[in-house]
Amino acid sequence: MITDFPEAPLPLLDGTETTAELAEFGGDPVIPKGLRRTVFPVITKEDTFHMLRSQRSSPEKVVEEFAERYRSYVGAHSALPVASGTASLHMALVGAGVMPGDEVIVPAFTFIATAQAVVAAKAVPVFVDIDPHTYCMAPERAEAAITERTKAIMPVHVHGLPADVPALRGVCERNGTVLVEDASHAHSAGIGDSMCGSLGTAAGQSLMADKNFPLGGEGGIAFFSSDEAHQRAVSCLARNGIDYRMSWIVASFGTSQLQRLGYYDAIRARNAAELSRALDETGLFTPPYVPEGYTHSYNMYRIGLRPEAVGLEDLPVWKVKEAVHELLVAEGVPAREWQNTPIPCHLPFTHRHGFGNGYPFTLNPEAARDHTPQDFPVVRAMLESTLVLCRELRSPVEHERLQRYAAAFRKIAKRPDAIRTLVNERNYPRPPHQEAARLG
């Protein structure tokens, strides 16, 4: 029988891990091979029993039950369960009143679905730079991009940190636009007592299986602040014959998983806090920034580099990043890049074929601009100087594993000489944004 149960427990730290030779240079890795896999989501007998019981109800009722429970949890006015995160963003935009040819301001750093959903709504995405601390949309950049055809601003709560919604809401109020959230990373994240998904006119959220709140496969949900916005989205589906229905199997799994979401959130917050303390001690690495009063859900955990803190300021930061990436992976830490160039530099937005013959970009040619990475200096600088952990802070990640992640960062920070050696030997050819666009 195939099982996801670990083959063996991770050994406890014995104190020698941070002073041993780096694995890249022949030493033992901090996390041994064969013990590196993390499993998520957790599937329990309660999930199985709930899905079996759900077969006694109609598919529509199962989906409605899930949507209502999750809507109540988020605190939104109304909800529309759909088949994917992209579908949820599409419906959020339609519900907010976005029409063909309208402009929707989106951040240049996000997953490509954010901008693709704007095209699905037959509108034109207008890309802006991000805040250098939060990596979310910069409100001043959004306001500078507004034209008479701007209908919506769509910030992304990237990696699970809420965007500066108070400032962006002010931008919308001053300019007569609506705020639509991309909350696909932000399950249980929020500002004060308000949860992401309930902060704007509408919101879209992915519920696919690798998110912090996982459903059984692909799924999404759109939230609305009024009956009018909700009805707009529902009418669009009926009028155009679009089948975005959520599977009852997906919804059933989500209903039972929702009961454990608070536990997942607490474990992830604890793990993030402990790892952040460890990174602060290294000098080389910096943890994510979280403004006062914000709840970060850590769908991803982005780590910054400070080469100057360890005497590597003479090296290009992107080369230091490449070397550190190699060293971390060799130690068993699954660090990733997660995007290598701004979204407007990906093929759908450089070629702009759209639905054919350039539609919907042809509806508003002035808004359809050619971009290079140099147009978004903050995004480019972030991509050159940061790495990401994706699933490695979630339950059921063992505490021993988290301690070993921290030990690996400490181990590498103690060896700037090894980083310099890799940079010199590998001769990394080009910054990430000069390579072919990659997702994830």
Q: Which domains does the chain have, with CATH numbers?
A: 45-259 (3.40.640.10)
Query: How many Cα atoms sit within 13 Å of 79 on the Cβ side?
Result: 22
- Which pLDDT score, from 0 to 100, does residue 266 have? 96
Q: What is the mean pLDDT of the chain?
A: 95
* pLDDT confidence bin for 340, thresholds 50/70/90: very high
d(CA 44, CA 257): 9
pLDDT for 3 beyond 60? no
What one-character DSSP code corresponds to residue 302?
E
| Token pair of 298 as six digits | 């850590």
Contacts of 407 (CB under 8 A, 6+ apart): 13, 17, 18, 30
- Which pLDDT score, from 0 to 100, does residue 62 have? 96
What one-character DSSP code corresponds to residue 385?
H
- The Cα-based distances of 91 to 164, 176, 318 in angstroms read 23, 20, 38
- CA 234 vs. chain centroid, Å, equals 27
| Tens-place pLDDT, residues 289-321 | 999 999 999 999 999 999 999 999 999 999 999
- Which pLDDT score, from 0 to 100, does residue 1 have? 35
**Helix, strand, or coil (residue 387):** strand
pLDDT for 50 beyond 90? no
- Which pLDDT score, from 0 to 100, does residue 4 have? 61
Q: Which residue, among 420, 137, 148, 149, has the nearest Cα to 284 in the 3D structure? A: 420
| Tens-place pLDDT, residues 151-175 | 999 999 999 999 999 999 999 999 9
pLDDT for 2 beyond 60? no
- Which pLDDT score, from 0 to 100, does residue 5 have? 66
Mean pLDDT in residue range 199-204:
98
d(CA 383, CA 377): 10
Q: In this structure, are residues 129 and 150 in contact, taking their beta carbons and an 8 Å threshold? A: no
d(CA 239, CA 244): 13
- Which pLDDT score, from 0 to 100, does residue 209 have? 87
pLDDT for 267 beyond 90? yes
